[in-house]
Chains A and B, each alone.
Chain A
Amino acid sequence: MVSSAECLEKTDEQLVVLSLKNQEYYWCLMTRYENKLLHYILKISNFGREDAEDILQEVFIKVYENLNDFDTSWKFSNWIYRITHNITISAYRKKKVNPQLVSWDYEGLNNLMESTSNIEKDAFQNLSYEKILEIINRLPLKYKEVLILKFMENKDYQEISDILHKPMGTIATLIRRAKKVLQQELAKEGIKT
């Protein structure tokens, strides 16, 4: 059995190499990403927690099966987010789930609102947290996913490009458009932008 201390001192890339020799090391990788990926699935899909856990299970098994496909010169986190994204979107399209209110931490939400230009701070503060989430949830998936990766997961453009498999220029355009659509949605709620 691998100890938690041993897990902590290894990088993701080292753990991938070790997992190929000893599956116990794969547990280290899974625990490192379990919470992050679970929240990511919940945010982009609107699935309930149980469904999200099923998806995460599928993700971890697929990642393990494809460990030899991972290029150690790349960031493991981008690769695992990419697989998570693909499996979640595929499940989302199959199930067509009913929207649920996803949880964003306040800091991520604040970052997003501040970067969505010229929103009057007072007006923004008048909206409830739930109302803002409801507005974000109304956005098309292609916009919602870039906003989540940028403002919640704090990924840079290159990382988002690696996760969504789109050129960086396209990512920049999507983020710009997503903010514009968000501004329009906020305007419908009477928020001046």
Chain B
Amino acid sequence: MRWLTDPWQLGYFGRGMLAAVLAGGLSGLIGTYVVLRRMSYIGHGLSHAILGGTVVGYVTNFNFYVAGGLWGALSALLITGVSRSRRIGADAAIGIVTTASYAVGIALISRGHHFTRNFEAAFFGNILGVTTTDVWVLVVVSAAVVAVIFFLYKQFLFVTFDAEVAASYGVRTGLVDVVFSLVLAAAIIATMRILGVTLIAAAVVTPAVVARLSTNSFGRMLGLSVLIGALTGFGGMYVSYYGDIASGATITLTGAAIFAVVYLVGVVRGRLGRRALAGAIVTDWDQASFPTDVPV
């Protein structure tokens, strides 16, 4: 069992592990709502939009989290506003808002080559470079998100299941949407330096999809998704350490492996219908958004 304990001899591993487990659990928590509300596209876009904000913050000498927080809240509210309009093309409008914001960041990075290193973590995640501040931000954001979801559990569930009927039962659906988008933005900012903007969407969606395949109850799905997210972070950290691979990638791949196992077990047992999967729409990770042409 030495292989389990050995990495802990290194100080940064413990901090990284805490960050990975927290980031995984937090992503699993919000992922349940993202998947069931079929918002994976919005989560994906929002993470890119926020990256633009953090670059602007860097250029104007703002703190990563302050700039990302302000920009993220603004983007989240804008996206919520656009997606509530019933006009055709809301998804396209969201795409424009988020990619434009992302492009601002890319443009600024390409202008000043000297600071691209600082954004490597934001793009790809760098768990071993996690600072104490990063961990504290993650702890505070996780606690706040858990508190919001705890006290608005029923309202969130009703709006996720059927927003229109929820409104007729007295739920303030507009307020719930705004609160959820802010929670989503906060979670993305807090996990961005750990998982990387390009891989956050996978960390958000995968645990929830695995949980959905394993249960038919919303309450159990939420709990399972948090657990699977945390486990993914835990396992991914060891793979990263022993394989000498970027942690964002190993966490994502661990999640994908758990999904594959659960899916195959379901198929073998014959319990899994197409119904269960139909609720979990996974966006295709558009390769175009991967910053291949950015000088890193």
Q: Specify whether A and B are partners.
A: no
Residues in A lying within 8 Å of B, measured CB to CB? none
